[in-house]
Every structure is written in C-alpha cells, then in structure tokens.
Amino acid sequence: MKHILSILVRNRPGVMSHVSGLFTRRGYNIDSIAVGETQDPQISVMTIILKGDENTANQFKGQLLKLADVIDVRLLPYHQSIIRELVLVRIKVEPKNRTEVFGIIEVFHGKIYEIHEDTILIEVEGNPRQINSFLNVMNHFGILEIARTGQVALPLYTE
C-alpha cells in the first residue's frame, strides 16, 4: 500500500539529507520525493511517497517528528488526495508520424516546447497513472531524454 508523508521542515541546508537518511538507515526505498518552499521562505514542505503498511507509515511519522528540523508530519490518504507530477520528454519523430504524436500530446493535455526535424520536446503533468500511460505510449516512438519530478500532494476535503 502507498502512503504520502507531507513533512514541514525548516528550510536549511542538509535537511533533505537528514530526512532521506532516516529511510536509508531502515532499509526503506522512497518511491518519490519532492521538496519546495511554502509561502514562508523559512519553511519547506517535503512530499514523500513510500510503500508499506499503515504501521510502517506511522512509525516513520514518529521518527521524523524526532528530527530537529522537522516541524510537522501529516499522513495523507493516498486515494483521497490530489497527486501531481511533471515530466519533460524528448522523443524521436519522423514526418510520417508527426500528426499522430501531436494527437497523443493533445489527449494528454501536453505542451510542445521545441520541435526539430526529428525530435519534439514535450511537457505533461498529471497523476502518476497518467504520466506512466503517456510514457508507455511515447516509448513506441523512442524516448531520447526524460526528466521527471517527484510527486506533490494535497488531501481532498470530504465533508
């Protein structure tokens, strides 16, 4: 089962290393990690996605709260949160399949940033399932380069 840890931290050098080191020391792999400043430049939010049971997620929450630069930790419900990531991908394209590629980009609400004779640079944002689907389709044409962000998330309010 996947879990989302939303961690408020002091925006200082080395904080990301301390937080990720906690997972490394316990032999856990982080599926995704993203960090960015909040509206307060002295505070950042780290979003970590990990696989494990509920007990494991709660244990990490407790361990994270013991770190000096961690302000707060929230466990977000994975299936009741908005999760997004971004991918930049450069693909091979031939004149004969250019129209097909443009159609696929449109279906995924992507943006084209650069077109050359035999390559296209594309940006797509969405949930992890959408990004994976897009990349699977683009593999057919040939992915030359890829840059993928970590996932960010906020919970849905269900009232």
**CA distances from residue 122 to 9, 13, 27, 57, 134 in whole angstroms, order as listed:** 33, 32, 35, 35, 11
Which one is the CATH code of 82-155: 3.30.70.1150, 1.10.1740.10, 3.40.50.720, 3.30.230.10?
3.30.70.1150
Ordered mean pLDDT values, 10 residues apiece, the chain (159 residues): 95 93 91 95 96 92 95 94 97 94 97 95 97 97 96 85
pLDDT tens digits for range 129-139: 999 999 999 99
What pLDDT does 7 receive? Answer: 97
For the chain, give every domain's residue range.
2-76, 82-155
Domains 2-76 and 82-155 share a fold: yes
State the alpha helices, DSSP H only, in the chain: 15-25, 54-65, 98-107, 128-139
Output the pLDDT for position 159. 56
- pTM equals 0.87
Fold of 2-76: Alpha-Beta Plaits (3.30.70)
Is 33 in contact with 108 (CB distance < 8 Å)? no
85 near 152, Cβ under 8 Å?
yes
The pLDDT of residue 157:
81
Q: What is the pLDDT of residues 102-118, one digit of tens each?
A: 999 999 999 999 999 99
Q: pLDDT value at position 158? A: 64
